[in-house]
Amino acid sequence: MTFTERLSQYIQLTRLHRPIGILLLLWPTLWGVWIAGDGHPAWHIVLIFVLGTVLMRSAGCAINDYADRHIDKHVKRTRERPVTSGHIAPGEALGLAAALACAAFLLILPLNDLTLLLSVPAVLLAASYPFTKRFFVIPQAYLGIAFGFGIPMAFAAQLGSVPPLAWLLLVANVFWAIAYDTEYAMVDRDDDIRLGIHSSALLFGKYDVAAVMACYAVTLALLAVAGQIAGLGLAYYLGLLVAAGIALYHYALIKNKSREACFAAFLHNNWFGAAVFAGIALDYFARTP
């Protein structure tokens, strides 16, 4: 295999050609970075958390393909992934994941001890999530914790502590992750049943659409409470209103449960997260003298 071909396989393994996962991980991290920094986070903190997000998401994808290598070959959508197709050895995928995680750890070495301490559960969550679908009836909730752990780390990095507000934002992210990853799971429902894989789409059954919308509603309610605690104003709540409109658009997409529409709704969640962040950033910007 040539260098170019090998590089292409690594890009596919880490999903760098599909940045939606990076964005779904990045937006809640930036919520935490901006609120913890009172709207003016240090730019080296922003850079560390953005790069760390890319590295850890890439590492998580490599571990996911290692964990699912015997499952992916039975699903049309995933059978050409590098590990299950034999283009990358399982040990090589684990080695790449470890290298990426180490690079992410090196990024946070200049930060305080609490941030370094919180990086341990963050790595454990990212590494263990791919295995939860074997035994946990709602692995999407576990994903929400893993994808949101940058929030308490962002508060720790800037404040030296993790206030209740950070955990509230993390819980909001858990409900958002259940919403968008249930939309994703609705695409794979038949394959998950055949392979004995757990998912929220199977748990919610015929109430899956209602459950997705309920999770969006809880997410927005928790974010509204977080805004009150953080002292955010009109621009932030306008951002939440836009996010609510996006959630209603997702209902229009998923109500008939077609695979293509559910996948489109999943991808569109980038704009939900972006709307919330835009509200946060604009609210702080409006207060800047």
Q: Does residue 22 carry a pLDDT above 80?
A: yes
Return the structure tokens found at 136: 């946990």
- Whichever domain contains 227, its CATH number is 1.10.357.140
Residues 6+ apart with CB under 8 A from 219: 172, 173, 175, 176, 179
Name the residue range of residue 173's domain.
3-287
Q: How confident is residue 74, by pLDDT bands cut at 50, 70 and 90?
A: confident
Angstrom distances, CA of residue 156 to CA of 52, 174, 197, 223: 15, 19, 36, 20
For residue 60, give both structure tokens: 């998580």
Q: Do residues 138 and 212 touch, judged by C-beta distance below 8 A?
A: no
How far CA 29 is from CA of 47, 53, 144, 166, 251, in Å, comes to: 12, 8, 12, 11, 25
The larger pLDDT score, comparing residue 75 to residue 258, is at 258
Tally: H helices and E strands in the chain: 14, 0
Report whether 207 contacts 168 (CB < 8 A): no
Overall domain count for the chain? 1
pLDDT digit string (tens) for 229-283? 999 999 999 999 999 999 999 999 999 999 999 999 999 999 999 999 999 999 9
What integer pLDDT is reported at residue 7 of this predicted model?
87
Q: Tokens 């393994």 sit at which residue?
A: 13
pLDDT 10s digits, 45-71: 999 999 999 999 999 999 999 988 888
Number of residues that this document lists for the chain: 289
Cα atoms in the 13 Å half-sphere on the side-chain side of 224: 13
The model's pTM is 0.95
**Per-residue pLDDT tens over the stretch 166-220:** 999 999 999 999 999 999 999 988 877 888 888 999 999 999 999 999 999 999 9
Q: Which amino acid, residue 268? A: H
Contact 129, 143 (CB under 8 A): yes
Indicate whether 114 pLDDT > 90: yes
Contacts of 183 (CB under 8 A, 6+ apart): 212, 250, 254, 262, 263, 265, 266, 269
Place of tokens 């990045």: 26
Say what the pLDDT of residue 11 is: 92
Q: How confident is the model at residue 287 (pLDDT cuts 50, 70, 90)?
A: confident
196: exposed, middle or buried (Cβ count in 10 Å: 0-12, 13-18, 19+): exposed
Share of the chain above pLDDT 90, in %: 81
